[in-house]
Amino acid sequence: MFSLKNKVAVITGGASGIGLAMAKRFIKSGANVVIADLADKNNEAESIGAKFYKVDVSDENSVISLLKFASEYLGPIDIIANNAGVCPEFRALNEATQQDYEFAFKVNTLGVAFGLKHGPDYMNNGGSIINTSSLSGKMGVFGLGAYCTSKFSVIGLTQTAAVELGDRHIRVNAICPASVNTPMAHDNDQSQLEMEKIMIPLGRIAEPEEIASLAHFLAADDCAFINGQAINVCGGMTAGIGPKLWEKLAGSSGDNS
């Protein structure tokens, strides 16, 4: 079950964080993997048995070159993970700059759009495309207007592609994590991370491997009827108010009277 034996997978943003965790998991399940990123400073691809290819997902021609390389090197592509992402600095809407929006959209939105536009041309008649959105792609977050908007767009692209590519038996789904223990998360405001831990009933943020496990599930042929979904991986954050958050809101030690 959930074997990826002899599948060909391309993962953008694959040199660290969620993308690297996906690559490791896919390889363990038998896939042949191309890790694509701006750089692989720690030689992660070689260490796990993947092939590295330098890509700038905000550049359409760069994405085409990546897909062409992967298909020529390993054969027709079965799995594409459009995972590369960035997060601008925290700024309220009345302070956000044009550069904030351009930075977020060029990578988070255009990177996915280019993968969806050109990826199917290099795939078998069938396969799985997995887009990394965010829980912030379903809800507003103070100071993250540009990021949220770019991740909302990923869900829109995912659902549109699922409709358009269905007759080619290509499934398209999105993963929507809350905060994850990655280098990008640690570049952000640590007070926000601590607040998220309080908001998440499990009391912690996710590990990259926990996001990769859902990607593995969606990549496998066993999930042939899951299509057009944006799936939360949030430790119960959207389920309701847990005791720690209640205490924080009430300003007491568990007094909810």
Using one digit for the tens of pLDDT, what is the confidence trace for 197-237?
889 999 999 999 999 999 999 999 999 999 999 999 999 99
pLDDT at 257: 47
Top-confidence residue, 253 or 39:
39
Catalytic residue among 53, 101, 122, 147: 147
| CB proximity list for 76: less than 8 A, separation 6 or greater | 8, 122, 123, 124
Please state, in angstroms and rounded to a whole number, the distance separating the CA atoms of residues 155 and 137.
7
CA angle 242, 245, 246 (to 5 degrees): 80
For the segment 122-148, the average pLDDT, to the nearest whole number, is 96
- CA-nearest of 106, 209, 215, 203 to 153 is 106
CA angle 226, 228, 232 (to 5 degrees): 85
Would 188 be classed as within a structural domain? yes
In the structure encoding, which two tokens stand for residue 133, read together?
């959105």
Top-confidence residue, 105 or 195:
105
Of 5-9, 67-71, 249-253, the range with the lowest mean pLDDT is 249-253
Please state, in angstroms and rounded to a whole number, the distance separating the CA atoms of residues 75 and 69.
9
Examine the pLDDT at 113 and tell me if it is beyond 60: yes
- Calculate the alpha carbon distances from 154 to 81, 97, 188 in Å: 12, 21, 21
Domain CATH for 99:
3.40.50.720
* Sign of the alpha-carbon torsion through 24, 149, 136, 123: negative
pLDDT band at 242 (very low <50, low <70, confident <90, very high): confident
- Enclosing domain of residue 82: 8-193+205-240
Would 199 be classed as within a structural domain? no
Would 115 be classed as within a structural domain? yes
Buried b (16+ CB within 10 A) or exposed e, 124-150: eeebbbbbbbbbbbbeeeebbbbbbbb
> What's the pLDDT tens digit per position in 37-93?
999 999 999 999 999 999 999 999 999 999 999 999 999 999 999 999 999 999 999
pLDDT at 169: 98
- CA-nearest of 101, 105, 78, 76 to 89 is 101
Would 215 be classed as within a structural domain? yes
> What's the pLDDT tens digit per position in 148-173?
999 999 999 999 999 999 999 999 99
Please state, in angstroms and rounded to a whole number, the distance separating the CA atoms of residues 87 and 119.
24
**Structural domains counted in the chain:** 1
What is the value of pTM for the model shown? 0.93
pLDDT at 248: 80
| CB proximity list for 221: less than 8 A, separation 6 or greater | none
> What's the pLDDT tens digit per position in 195-206?
888 899 999 999
The CA radius of gyration of the chain, in Å to the nearest whole number, is 18
Helices and strands, counts by H and E, the chain? 10, 7
pLDDT at 87: 95
- CA-nearest of 73, 16, 17 to 45 is 16
Examine the pLDDT at 255 and tell me if it is beyond 90: no
Q: Please provide the average confidence, as pLDDT, over all residues in the chain.
A: 94
pLDDT band at 187 (very low <50, low <70, confident <90, very high): low
Would 251 be classed as within a structural domain? no
Main-chain phi, psi angles of 65, to 5 degrees: -60, -40
pLDDT at 243: 84
Catalytic residue at 147?
Answer: yes
Would 257 be classed as within a structural domain? no
DSSP 210: H
Would 59 be classed as within a structural domain? yes
Beta bridge partners of 35: 11, 52
Would 137 be classed as within a structural domain? yes
For the segment 177-181, the average pLDDT, to the nearest whole number, is 94
pLDDT at 166: 98
Residue 227 near residue 171 (C-beta atoms within 8 A): yes
Examine the pLDDT at 192 and tell me if it is beyond 60: yes
Quickly list H helices, 105-222: 110-118, 145-165, 183-186, 190-199, 208-219
